[in-house]
Each structure stands twice: as structure tokens, then as C-alpha cells.
Amino acid sequence: MSETQAGSSIQRRSASSRSSTARKPKPNQLPFAILTLIALILAGLFLQSQGNNMGWYLVTGLIFGYILQRSRFCFTASMRDPFLTGSTILTRAVLAAFAMTTIAFAAIKYGYFKNGLPVPGMNYVVPISLATVIGAFMFGVGMVIAGGCGSGTMMRVGEGFYMQMLSLAFFVIGNFWGAHDFGWWKENVINHGKAIFLPDVFGWFGAVVIQLVVIWLIYIAAEKFHEAKAAAGSSAH
Amino acid sequence: MKEVMLDCLGEACPIPIVKSQNKMKELAVGDLLIVQIDHSCAMKNVPDWARGEGYNVEVEEVGDGEWEVIIEKTK
């Protein structure tokens, strides 16, 4: 990282005298790492023995969490920072991820479709309705206050951030509550909407192209927004 | 030139950057703002914002998962 070189010109007068920088001796983390690794392997073997590829889910989850933590990829910041700081760097990172998964998932689904097999993941093609808007708004408010979306909260609990353990507890409670009331929403709001699977409307190739063009246009808009905000910010000084 | 400490320990992501932005307005050119954080996300967005503003920035890990972001108000 460039942090160490970037601001090396800063001279701090009282760096050594301030009490907050008194370093605590760091315990050796290697034994904890080895114990964690053994525990994870045992957990993986146990889950795999339960069937349904559960062990494989643990491995993909760990890889996802690792990438999320190291890259500081944050879905909350991608939606919040444009309003708060005018930065759309993470917004564009999320759009790039959407573009890549669009191509990959279309390829997987088309592979099944071409061979006459049932297309996987079709039960996630659900109607769009007012519930989508209400739910997205509620989730957006919640994730900004809680300091993370679903994956972000889990990742930061893993990092040991106490406040978000509280977020996680209420995240679980909220999920149960949501599941409890989901029947009402499904019956009264969701089922009034229409389920749209883009390849049914535009064909497989058309759907991918249209989705990529829309993502690309949002990307350009995000870039222009960032530049405009940065220009407005520097002229204000 | 003075050093101002800003305690953001235990504060989740948007709080440290908002506090830093507000505190920065009160400082004079040449002052140092030292933001104490322990939220990994703020470790990225506080320096990113400050560099975007054109300030000198240094990040120091003072403990396990605790950082000090030192920002010099250059303009």
C-alpha cells in the first residue's frame, strides 16, 4: 500500500510523548492461525459429511469473506459515498462486478438452456413490485445506520468490531421478523407484480447486451458525478 | 501549527469521515488532524477523502485493528 510513502513529509512534534501511541506488546498470532485452520478443516469435513455440498459452501464463503475483507469492498459505501463524500469509486467497483457476473451467469444459464436442461436459479426470478422499492429503501436506511450490509456486517464481526455484533444480533431478529411477515407481503403486494426474465423478452444475446449497456451508462454517469463533485469541492476552498 | 486528536474509536463507517470533514473546517492551514479509528472501512475512506482534497496523509497502525490517520491541512 502507498500509505507509508505518501505522507512521509508530515512532521509530528510530539509523536513519542502522546500516550495513545504507546504500543501494546503484540501476542504471536501464529498459534491462533493454526488452531483456526484446524477448526475450519474439521468444520468443513463435518459439514461435507452432512451432504448437500455443505463443506463446499464453507470454502466459497471463506474465499468470499477473505476477498471482501482484503479489498475493503463495501456495498454500503458504494451506495452511500456518492451522497456523503461524492466519491463513486466503490459504486463503479460494484458496477464492474455486476457486469462480470452478468456475463458469467448468462453463460452458465445459457449452457443449461442449450442442452435442454432446467435453467438453474430460476426460482430467484421473482415479481417486481412496490415491495421491492419499500424493501430496498428500508434496507438502505438500515445498512447506513448499522455500518454495513449483510456481508459487510458479517465481515466486520469477524474482524472484531464490537458495535456490529449488535448489528448482527438485530440483523438476525430482523430476518426472523421478515420471514414471519413475508407471507402477507407475498400475498398482498409481491404477487401483484410481474416476474420478468430478460432472456424471455430480448433473447439471450439481447438480454446480456442490454444489461451491459445499462451498467455501462450508469458507470459513465457515476464517473461524471465523481468528477463534478470533486471539482465543486476544490473550488469551494 | 497544532495537533488535534479526533477520537473515533468504536464509531462505524460513515461517522469518522463526517467528523473528520467537520473538524477539518475548524483547523488552520498547517495544522495536523489525527483521527483515531478502529473500523477497517474508515481506514480506507478517510485517507481516500483526505488525499482527494490534496492533503498530506499518513496511516499508522498503533495496535491490532487500531489506526491513526494523520492529516496535514495543506491549503
pLDDT of residue B66: 85
**Contact residues on chain B for A10, CB-CB shorter than 8 A:** 32, 56, 58, 70, 72
Is residue B13 pLDDT above 90, yes or no?
no
Contact A13 B57 (CB under 8 A): no
The answer, for B72 touching chain A at a CB cutoff of 8 Å, is yes
Tell me which chain A residue has its CA closest to the CA of residue B75: A237
pLDDT of residue A11: 59
Contact B52 A87 (CB under 8 A): yes
C-alpha closest to that of A90 among A105, A72, A103, A117: A72
Is residue B21 pLDDT above 90, yes or no?
no
Query: Which regions in chain A score pLDDT beneath 50?
Result: 1-7, 14-20, 236-237
For B26-70, how does the pLDDT look when each residue is reduced to its tens digit (9 = 90+)?
A: 888 888 889 998 887 788 888 888 888 888 888 888 877 788 899
Residue A227 distance to chain B (closest CA, Å): 11
Q: The CATH number of the domain where B38 resides is what?
A: 3.30.110.40
The answer, for A28 touching chain B at a CB cutoff of 8 Å, is no
Contact B75 A8 (CB under 8 A): no
> How many structural domains is chain B composed of?
1
| ipTM > 0.90, yes or no | no
Cβ burial, residue A152 (10 Å; 0-12/13-18/19+): buried
Interface subset of A 118-177, CB within 8 angstroms of B? 144, 146-148, 152, 156, 159-164
The shortest CB-CB distance from A159 to any of B40, B48, B72 is to: B40
Output B71 or A231, whichever has higher pLDDT: B71
- Cβ partners under 8 Å of residue A54, min gap 6: A47, A48
Q: What is the pTM assigned to this prediction?
A: 0.75
- Cβ partners under 8 Å of residue A87, min gap 6: A81, A226, A229, B45, B48, B49, B52
Q: Which residue type, as a one-letter code, is found at position A103?
A: I
Q: Determine the structural domain holding residue B57 and report its residue range.
A: 3-72
